A and B are shown apart, each in its own frame.
Chain A
Amino acid sequence: MAKFTKKGGKEMAPISTASLPDIIFMLLFFFMVTTTMREATLLVSITPPKATEVQKLEKKSLVSYIFIGPPLKKQLGTDSRIQLADQFGEVKDIAEFIEKERNSHDEADRKLLTTSLKVNKLTKMGVVTDVKQELRRVGAFKINYSTAKGKDR
């Protein structure tokens, strides 16, 4: 049996960990570059509907969001409210909101501005229609109905 017992033998050389920081830094930079910080804190609950014919939204910096859904705070009721940036708004506030978004971009980019409607799926179309009419009035024609990819039936 002595054949199988180890006799001290050669000692394994320890693996050098000197390159570990480099590897970690590489990962770190990857995540730093891909990270987008959430800009607005949600005040309304959004469960997007699902659809199969979705397209990706490109150039996130050119997208402004309008959230519509029931408020997260139960005291405010269950009716769908509109959230612009990080506060509740009304339909009449949209013109000012869009104007502000336009002014914060270069003239060349203004045509490419997209408004993304993030709407809870239980919301009634009435408020969405009002928002759409207002967007038409102020000339923000490019819109995107935010949906998750998938099928729910």
Chain B
Amino acid sequence: MARKVSEINAGSMADIAFLLLIFFLVTTTMDTDTGIIRKLPPPPPEDVEPPKVNKRNTFKVLVNKNDRLLVNGKPGSVDQLRQQVKDFLGNPNIKSPVSPENMPEKRDEPANIQLLGGDVYISKGIISLKNDRGTSYDMYIQVQNELAAGIRELRDELSQKYFGLKFGQLIDNDKIKAIKKAIPVAISEAEPENIGGN
């Protein structure tokens, strides 16, 4: 008969586990990566002319090398940009094909979105963003942020009107798609040019 094996002392198990725990605690980085997600356009084909866009349909934002803004030909500021974007893209009457003279036109064919009550005329408005090579990245992000905020607020308002929830709170995929279709992210970045030098 084999000798009776004495039990292994498990008292130090906790210490070993603690050691490992502290190691992982120290090496853990909990920061989730956040950022502004954008999609770059494919390079333009050489022989095709860029589509003509009516002047009233573009909202021009220029940032120069001193981080100053020129919005539709007038000096602007980051603080006002959001409201300007909302005024530009916001359709006072989403179901009517006509817009006031100074507002961007709407697409000729209405999109049929059942969740938003049938025919919806989508704005033809495009935000055109152009920056200089000398613009600071911080300023560029601030501008991108305000443009995104303007669009997000418009979506929030539309979503609130039809579904009683903010756009970010929507869970139903069809509803999210409907809102996205009605108010697309129409930000176009101009082909880079060297205006003011480095």
Contact = CB atoms under 8 A, between A and B. Distances in A.
A136 B40 contact: yes
B39 A141 contact: yes
Contacts of B136: 121-125
Interface residues of A, number: 52
Contacts of A34: 28, 30
Contacts of A133: 192
Interface string B2-46: 000000001001100110110011011110111111111111000
Interface string A18-52: 00110011011001101111100000000001011
A114 to B, nearest CB: 8
B110 to A, nearest CB: 29
Interface of B: 10, 13-14, 17-18, 20-21, 24-25, 27-30, 32-43, 131-138, 140-142, 144-145, 148-149, 152, 192, 198
A123 to B, nearest CB: 5
9 contacts: A24-B17, A37-B27, A49-B142, A54-B35, A57-B34, A121-B137, A125-B133, A142-B40, A146-B33
A63 interface: yes
A120 interface: yes
B50 to A, nearest CB: 15
B142 A20 contact: no
Contact of B34 (A25, A128, A139, A148): A148
The interface centre, meaning the residue of A28, A125, A147 with most chain B CB atoms within 10 A of its CB, is: A125
B27 to A, nearest CB: 6
Given A20-B14, A52-B145, A54-B34, A120 B137 contact: yes
Contacts of A148: 34
A53 B148 contact: yes
Given A52-B145, A121-B141, A125-B137, A143 B34 contact: no
Given A51-B145, A114-B37, 4 more contacts: A24-B21, A37-B27, A122-B137, A122-B138
